Amino acid sequence: MQARLAIVSAGIVWLASTALALSVTGLGRAQEAKTTASRSVWDGVYTEDQAKRGRTRYIQACASCHAEDLRGNGTAPSLIEESFSFVWGEMTVWELFVQIRTLMPSDRPNSLPSQSYRDIVAFILQSNKFPPGPTELDAEPEALRQIRITAERREGSRP
Ligand code: HEC
């Protein structure tokens, strides 16, 4: 009797721990879905027109130091290719936007309208070969925080 009870209760413990393990796995999946639901720069987060406006702004406000081809000069760093992904990889578009608005142009920071800074960010994304899409970069900080800058095309853009 005693032995049988022990076996039964061991069975219950086993069942309970299995259920726990299952629900933990379920939780893990939900978490993963949440992460992949957030967007990345591969999801078409700016428009062609926005990047075009951004280019005009860039030429006026940034090209004197960072060069027309974005490759920089002696002191201002390149804003494309390795130097871009090295510094900005795994950050968000919001962080890029804030950094540029706060520090650039270095001789007169925060001197452009927010819209211009967003357009310039769109142009920088286009110059780094991230694809355009149907909607412009959102004015909402929260929306920009959802967009990760990543070299990995598949990340964040899984169906
Ligand atoms: C007067 C020269 C000058 C102008 C104009 C200028 N920058 Fe810069 N920029 C610099 C210098 C110098 C640095 C590097 C030192 C620093 O971070 O302050 C820099 C750094 C940066 C960085 C950080 C790069 C990195 O990889 O860390 C970004 C992004 C940037 N600039 C974007 C812009 C944009 C966009 C504009 C136009 C709105 C602009 N800059 C205008 C001189 C300039």
State mean pLDDT over 111-121. 98
What is the C-alpha to C-alpha distance for residues 51 and 71, in angstroms, rounded to an integer?
Answer: 17
What pLDDT, on a 0 to 100 scale, did the predictor assign at position 56? 98
What is the C-alpha to C-alpha distance for residues 50 and 47, in angstroms, rounded to an integer?
Answer: 5
Q: Is the CB of 83 under 6 A from ligand 1?
A: yes
Phi, psi of 71 (to 5 degrees): -85, 0
| Residue of 59, 66, 102 with the most ligand 1 atoms within 8 Å of its CB, for mutation | 66
Residue 63: exposed, middle, or buried by beta-carbon count in 10 A (0-12, 13-18, 19+)? middle
Ligand 1 centroid–CA 78 distance in Å is 9
Ligand 1 centroid–CA 125 distance in Å is 15
Q: What is the number of the ligand 1 atom nearest to the C-alpha of 75?
A: 12
Under a CB-based contact definition with an 8 Å cutoff, are residues 105 and 62 in contact?
yes
Let me know the angle formed at the C-alpha of 103 by 55 and 148, rounded to the nearest 5 degrees: 65
Is pLDDT of 33 > 50?
Answer: no
Q: What is the mean pLDDT of the chain?
A: 83
Say which residue, 19 or 76, is predicted with more confidence: 76
What is the per-residue pLDDT across 145-156, written as a single tens digit (0 to 9) for each?
Answer: 999 999 888 644
Is pLDDT of 36 > 90?
Answer: no
pLDDT-based confidence at residue 37 (cuts at 50, 70, 90): very low
pLDDT-based confidence at residue 38 (cuts at 50, 70, 90): confident
What is the C-alpha to C-alpha distance for residues 91 and 13, in angstroms, rounded to an integer?
Answer: 44
What is the C-alpha to C-alpha distance for residues 37 and 69, in angstroms, rounded to an integer?
Answer: 33
Q: Is the CB of 98 under 6 A from ligand 1?
A: no
Ligand 1 centroid–CA 114 distance in Å is 16
Cα–Cα distances in angstroms (integers) from residue 62 to residues 2, 76, 83, 109, in the given order: 82, 10, 17, 11
Ligand 1 centroid–CA 87 distance in Å is 13
Q: Is the CB of 41 under 6 A from ligand 1?
A: no
Please say whether the dihedral angle defined by the alpha carbons of residues 124, 128, 129 and 135, taken in this order, is positive or negative.
negative
Q: Which of 66, 79, 104, 119 lies closest to 88 in space, CA to CA?
A: 79
State mean pLDDT over 81-105. 94
